[in-house]
Amino acid sequence: MQQERTPAMQRVAAQKERLPGFYGRIDFDAMPERFTVAPGERTALEALGAHDPSRRAKLLANHVLVERIRAYTLHGDPVADAYAQLIPRHGFRTLVSMLEQACDKGVEAVAETPPELGAFLDEMSARPDWIDMQLVQEGAQASRNVMAHIAPLVIRGAFFGTFTNKYAALPMALTGALSHETAARRVLETATFFTVTTLPGALERHGAGFKAAAMVRLMHSMVRFHALTKPGHWDPAVFGIPIPQVDQMPAGLKASYLLAQRALKAGRDFHRAERAQVELARYRCFLLGLPRELLPETPQELVDVLDTRSATLRDGFDDATCGSLIRSTMAADLGRDTGLVGRVRSAAEPSAAKLYFVRNYFGGDRARAAAIGIRVGPGDHLWNAVGLLFSLVPMVGYGIASRMGPLKGIADRIVTRKIERLLARYGHSHFTTDAATYRPATGASGG
């Protein structure tokens, strides 16, 4: 007898009727292997090695939150998926071109606009009443200093964090990111997205950040479409759907998660500046298609929702998938900064990235990190210290100036120009995925 579906699972199942080209072969009444609530099961939470053993049991006792994670483990992006479903009719390059034109000039500028494109951008353009746009602007301004000075050192390390679990990492391997060139492009695209969204006005309807978010959503939907329609590339019984909503949370909310942990440790709520950075992250995630249910506001709720995702994601490290992605990303050439200071920072970046990953994803356990291919030696600590010195000194200086009335505007303009130069170094990001580069990934048939 089929168990009655909850309202959340009814919305999930409706994807099959709405988007048969995507989800026609998905059994939404059967949870994939990746999702587990079994007691004693090793999950991504335990794999991090930094949690109280009783933590998972407490999280799983919150049945409302577990049900929420369960539903969004099988939830894609209905409006972007509907647009990507037009690939057989228009081709992916045409869809990308129409989206770019609609973002730059408006939907009315696109000849013979598909209604799916209008619906996609209409959803993104809506300003949710649960987002404080004044705080978003404050968060963007506060984040510019970090993005200009610290983010370039750690972005590779943050990327490693998405490769520690085979169930979540498979889509990246599927798109051909096991090569150094593709891995570098994906890291730089990710760096570009998070950096550009901090620029003044970038998140407005025709801003560069809004456009980048739309392109990222389409890229994710294209991955889903190709993975689910190319025979032999994806096993839904094992992996569920590619890039579900819950797998976008860690990247979008990682910095907020760290702020929340710090606040909880101090026994307090967010400060205004922290709240602003969290609000920026929440709005950025909204633009990427995440629902309000996955974007809480308080420190405890933020930690709980991300930890519950980890507590229900079965642990699994496949060297052919995860290990290869880590090695290709570690070897990827992310470009070189110019000038003496720039060259020093570029030389320090790989070491800083490794230490950031070990500290924030493995709780400082270097042995566990070494087991998956991230080895930290004495030289890395030295280079990390040098990189931080060259980054923190200007960061602190701009931070002080930004709190001084007469200098605030000048400091912000200087940091904005630094970000623009940084974006030029990252290069133009296409945020696209081509089915011709796809390859069957190890484990796609349940291995």
- Kindly report, residue by residue over 191-247, the tens digit of the pLDDT: 899 999 999 999 999 999 999 999 999 999 999 999 998 887 889 999 999 999 999
Read off the pLDDT of residues 139-155 as tens digits, 9 standing for 90 and up. 999 999 999 999 989 98
Whether residue 203 is contained in a domain is answered as: yes
Residue 447 banded pLDDT, cuts 50, 70, 90: very low
When divided into structural domains, the chain yields a total of 1
pLDDT given at position 117: 97
Does this model's pTM top 0.85? My answer is: yes
Whether residue 342 is contained in a domain is answered as: yes
Task: Decide which of 247 and 368 is more confident.
Answer: 247
Whether residue 335 is contained in a domain is answered as: yes
pLDDT given at position 438: 52
Whether residue 284 is contained in a domain is answered as: yes
Closest of 13, 47, 8 to residue 30, by C-alpha: 13
Whether residue 68 is contained in a domain is answered as: no
Whether residue 7 is contained in a domain is answered as: no
pLDDT given at position 1: 40
Whether residue 423 is contained in a domain is answered as: yes
Whether residue 142 is contained in a domain is answered as: yes
Task: Provide the mean pLDDT of the chain.
Answer: 89
Please check the confidence at residue 179 and state whether its pLDDT lies above 80.
no
Domain housing 296: 79-427
Work out the average pLDDT over 32-60.
Answer: 87
